[in-house]
Amino acid sequence: MSPRQLKLGVILKGTGSHIAGWRHPSVSLDKATRFSQYVEIAQLAEQGKLDFIFVADSPSVSYQFQPVMLARVPQIYHIEPVTLLSALAPLTRHVGLVGTITTTFSEPYNVARMFASLDHISDGRACWNVVTTTNDQAAANFGLAEQIPKRERYARASEFVDIVRGLWDSWDDDAFIMNRDSGIYADPQKMHFLNYKSERFAVRGPLNVPRPPQGHPVVCVAADSEDGRELAARTADILFNAQLDADSARALHQDVKRRMPKYGRDPDDLSIVLGLTLVIGRTDEEAREKYAFLESLIDVEIGMQYLSYLALTDLSGCPLDEPLPAFLKQDRSRSRLNIVVDAAEREGLTLRQTALRYADSFGHLAMTGSGTSIADRMQHWFETGAADGFVLRLPYAPQGLQDFNELVLPELQRRGLFRTEYAGHTFRDNLGLARPSRILK
Ligand SMILES: Cc1cc2nc3c(=O)[nH]c(=O)nc-3n(C[C@H](O)[C@H](O)[C@H](O)COP(=O)(O)O)c2cc1C
């Protein structure tokens, strides 16, 4: 058996992942919102043999009631992920295409159809990132005054994923016989109705797309709560998570993997990948300078608004140079907020420092340094069971990914921690996952 290797993907965002990265002189602003920029990033990811490109999403303008954010932050808008990935599919050959679609404001039939189609278009490289979406702004676009409660969101998500998988099995792999002589194109016996009915859904099927090349496109879940972990353990091939502390990451890893056997699943069939913000230099010193420069581009007011958004509370009256207000520590129900608050406590950060830190890494793990020192830390997290891989958040595009390819990748490859060539054709092949047989009888 080949040795276990890192799973690596990169967030696809035209200007990069850092809130003020777009102000970096290396970013060509005339290109930043253009499709050609996405092509360049996707092709760089493929040159680096990365497992996937990842498009995050929310079906609303983010921060729409925060004028300062709205005016200064490019992360407010979202190109529709499956449309974007479908356009990138013929311009790439190997890299996995991960698109986020929320279960809260979608219908399973549409989602099954979109990802089955993307899987055909890309010859087996589609992946659906399942999210339940927390924000009220999105709810307001779908006939709701406010977001539905989390329990209900996850109950819906859980059924939703089963329905989508069931619909992907609407046709046998060999349903389309296409016999010129007999004139028979499809075998109707090989088409299957789903006939799903519950309080939430009624979906008869079948899906009007042939079975996807991967059987089932890869399924990723981005979540952290109890319900999110259970959903991932039961249904996901990839869990995308945010962790700042290696012990907590290891605990998460063990917890989610421990839940899998009761669903008849092998824990090795799920990869847990963590968001990782990287500022890379030729030396540690150069990287620290780059980090300081990026931080100097963030207005603390933006950091505070960002944090207020996360906390769902206006923090603008709170003293900046004191520890975090106590009420932030009391709400334990919001996973990302908890991670940020716990890190601030652990490291004794003031509110100002926490706001700036959150603004540059969005509550994800962050590493600044030379290629070697970053590879050391990635290796440590990987080999001590804290992560199976990472979703890279590079501060400015495309230079951040060029830096990664040039300075970090060769070091990971030299250590045997990352591939030098793609192993197969489909995303499943490259993740080492079997093509599932039909579950729908
Ligand atoms: C690492 C990570 C990435 C996420 N990315 C998205 C996203 O792109 N779009 C979205 O609507 N929600 C996203 N979410 C939010 C989750 O779907 C979920 O609504 C939220 O995290 C609350 O659930 P939880 O407590 O289970 O994490 C993400 C969550 C995590 C942990």
d(C-alpha 245, C-alpha 345), whole Å: 12
Cα(131) to ligand 1 centroid in Å equals 6
How many distinct structural domains can be found in the chain?
1
Q: Specify whether the backbone of 34 is left (phi greater than 0), alpha (psi in -120 to 50) or beta.
A: beta
For ligand 1, the distance from its centroid to the CA atom of residue 193, given in whole angstroms, is 32
The per-residue pLDDT for range 105-130, each reduced to its tens digit, is 999 999 999 999 999 999 999 999 99
Domain contains 14: yes
User: Residues 151, 227: contact at Cβ < 8 Å?
Assistant: yes
| Residue 62: inside a domain | yes
225 lines ligand 1 (CB under 6 A): yes
Q: Indicate which atom in ligand 1 lies nearest the CA of residue 364.
A: 1
What domain range includes position 138? Answer: 7-168+196-283+365-431
- Within 8 A by CB and 6+ apart from 196, the residues are 162, 163, 166, 202, 203, 204, 205
Q: Which residues pair with 273 in a beta bridge?
A: 240, 389
Q: Which residue shows structure tokens 């109705």?
A: 193
Q: Is 207:113 a contact under the CB 8 Å cutoff? A: yes
Kindly state whether residue 345 falls inside one of the protein's structural domains: no
Per cent of the chain over pLDDT 90 is 84
Q: Which atom of ligand 1 is nearest to the CA of 58?
A: 11
**Are 136 and 147 contacting, i.e. CB atoms less than 8 angstroms apart?**
yes
CB of 57 shorter than 6 A to ligand 1? yes
Confidence of residue 31 (pLDDT cuts 50, 70, 90): confident
Q: Give 416-439 pLDDT, tens digit per residue.
A: 999 999 999 999 999 999 999 887
Mutation pick for ligand 1 pocket among 60, 128, 129, 131 (CB with most ligand atoms within 8 Å): 131
Closest by CA to 403, choosing from 16, 34, 7, 30, is: 16
Examine residue 221 and state whether it is found in any structural domain, yes or no: yes
Ligand 1 pocket, residue 387 CB under 6 Å:
no
In a domain, 229, yes or no: yes
Contacts of residue 221, Cβ cutoff 8 Å, sequence gap at least 6: 129, 130, 131, 228, 231, 232, 235, 236, 238, 239, 240
How much is the mean pLDDT over the chain? 95
From ligand 1's centre to the CA of 85, what distance in Å? 20
pLDDT at 440: 54
Specify the higher pLDDT residue, 302 or 238.
238
Q: Categorize the per-residue pLDDT at 215 as very low, low, confident or very high, splitting at 50, 70 and 90.
A: very high
Average pLDDT over residues 215-231: 97
> 137-173 burial, b for 16+ CB within 10 Å, e for fewer?
bbbeeeeeeebeebeebbbbbbbbbbbbbbbbbbbbe
75 Cβ closer than 6 Å to some ligand 1 atom: no
- CATH number at 236 reads 3.20.20.30
Domain membership of residue 243 (yes or no) is yes
Q: Is 305 in the pocket of ligand 1 (CB under 6 A)?
A: no
Ligand 1 lined by 56 (C-beta under 6 Å): yes
Query: What per-residue confidence (pLDDT) applies to 22?
Result: 94
Average confidence (pLDDT) over 169-195: 97
Question: How much is the average pLDDT of 284-294?
Answer: 97
Give the integer Cα–Cα distance in Å for 305 and 297: 15
Is 429 within 8 Å of 423 (Cβ atoms)? yes
Closest C-alpha to ligand 1, atom 31: 223
Residue 81 falls inside a structural domain: yes
- What is the rounded average pLDDT of the residues 45-56? 98
Q: How far is the CA of 223 from the centre of ligand 1 (A)?
A: 5
The per-residue pLDDT for range 309-346, each reduced to its tens digit, is 888 889 989 999 999 998 888 877 777 888 899 999 99
Q: Quick one: pLDDT at residue 312?
A: 83
* Any ligand 1 atom below 6 A from CB of 89: no
Q: Is the CB of 252 under 6 A from ligand 1?
A: no
For helices 335-347 and 351-361, what crossing angle results, to 10°? 130
**pLDDT tens figures, 367-413:** 999 999 999 999 999 999 999 999 999 999 999 999 999 999 999 99
Condensed to tens digits (0 to 9), the pLDDT of residues 245-274 reads 999 999 999 999 999 999 999 999 999 999
pLDDT tops 50 at residue 1: no
For residue 222, how far is its CA from the centre of ligand 1 (angstroms)? 5
Question: Residue 174 falls within a domain, yes or no?
Answer: no
Query: Does the pLDDT value for residue 191 go beyond 50?
Result: yes
For the Cβ of 223 lying below 6 angstroms from any atom of ligand 1, the answer is: yes
- The 10 Å Cβ neighbour count of residue 368 is 21
Q: How far apart are the CA of 105 and the centre of ligand 1, in A?
A: 14
